[in-house]
Amino acid sequence: MRYVDPEILEKANRWLVPFFDAETQLAIKELIAYDTETLDDSFYKSLEFGTGGMRGIMGVGDNRINQYTLGKNTQGLANYLKKEFPSEAIKVAIAYDCRHNSKSLARIVAEVFSANGIQVYLFSDLRPTPELSFAVKYLGCHCGIVLTASHNPPEYNGYKVYWQDGGQLVPPQDKEIIEEINRLDYTDIRFNANEQFIKYIDKQVDQAFADASVNNGSAQVSVEARQNLKIVFTSLHGTSITMVPRVLEQAGYSQIGIVQEQATPDGDFPTVVSPNPEETEALKMALEQADREQADIVIGTDPDCDRLGIAVRDQNGKMVILNGNQAMVIKTHFLLEQWKRQGKLDGSQFVGSTIVSTPMLQKIVEDYGVTYMEGLTGFKWIAKMIKDHPELSLVGGGEESFGYMVGDFVRDKDAVTATLLICEIAALQKEKGTTVYQYLQDLYKKYGFYREALVSMVKKGKEGAEEIQRMMATLRQQPPTTIAGSRVTSVEDYLPGTKTNLLENISESLDLPSSNVLIFNTEDGSKIAARPSGTEPKIKFYISVNGPDEVTLEAKIASIQSDLKLT
For the annotated catalytic residues, the residue numbers are 150
Alpha-carbon gap, residue 142 to 164, rounded angstroms: 5
Residue (of 299, 277, 319, 306) closest to 424 by Cα position: 299
Could you tell me the mean pLDDT of each successive run of 10 residues in the chain, 567 residues long?
A: 81 96 96 93 86 85 97 96 97 97 98 98 97 98 96 93 95 89 96 97 94 97 98 98 98 98 97 93 97 98 96 96 97 98 96 97 97 95 96 97 96 98 98 98 96 92 90 94 95 96 93 95 95 87 90 90 87
Q: Strand 198-201 to strand 119-123: parallel, antiparallel, or no bridges (unpaired)? A: parallel
Residues 6+ apart with CB under 8 A from 163: 136, 142, 143, 169, 173
Amino acid letter, 143: C
Question: Which of these, 436, 169, 163, 476, lies nearest to 321 by C-alpha position?
Answer: 436
Burial of 458 (0-12, 13-18, 19+ CB in 10 A): exposed
Helix (H, G, I), strand (E, B) or coil at 229: coil
pLDDT recorded at residue 489: 97
Residues 84 and 65: their CA atoms lie apart, in Å, by 27
Q: Determine the 3-state secondary structure of 177 from DSSP.
A: helix
Pairwise CA distance, residues 40 & 68, whole Å: 18
Q: Could you give the CA distance from residue 208 to residue 94 in angstroms, rounded to a whole number?
A: 17
Alpha-carbon distance 479 to 487, whole Å? 12
pLDDT given at position 1? 47
Q: What is the pLDDT of residue 50?
A: 64
Residues 6+ away with beta carbon under 8 Å from 349: 339, 370, 371, 392, 393, 394, 395
Distances, alpha carbon 67 to alpha carbons 105, 107, 174, 202, 235, in Å = 6, 10, 21, 24, 28
Q: Which residues pair with 374 in a beta bridge?
A: 353
Rounded to two decimals, what is the model's pTM?
Answer: 0.95
Give, in degrees to the nearest 5, the angle at Cα 382 between 446 and 170.
155
Local structure of 103: helix, strand or coil: helix
- Is residue 417 within 8 A of residue 215, CB to CB? The reply is no
So what's the pLDDT on residue 338? 97
Q: Of 453, 454, 455, 457, nearest to 538 (Cα)?
A: 457
Q: Per DSSP, what are the bridge partners of residue 122?
A: 94, 200
Q: How far apart are the C-alpha atoms of 312 and 57, rounded to whole Å?
A: 35
Q: Which domains does the chain have, with CATH numbers?
A: 45-201 (3.40.120.10), 208-447 (3.40.120.10), 449-563 (3.30.310.50)
User: Which amino acid would we find at residue 464?
Assistant: G
Is 497 exposed, middle or buried, given 0-12, 13-18 or 19+ CB atoms closer than 10 A?
middle
Is beta strand 349-354 parallel, antiparallel or unpaired with respect to 371-375? parallel
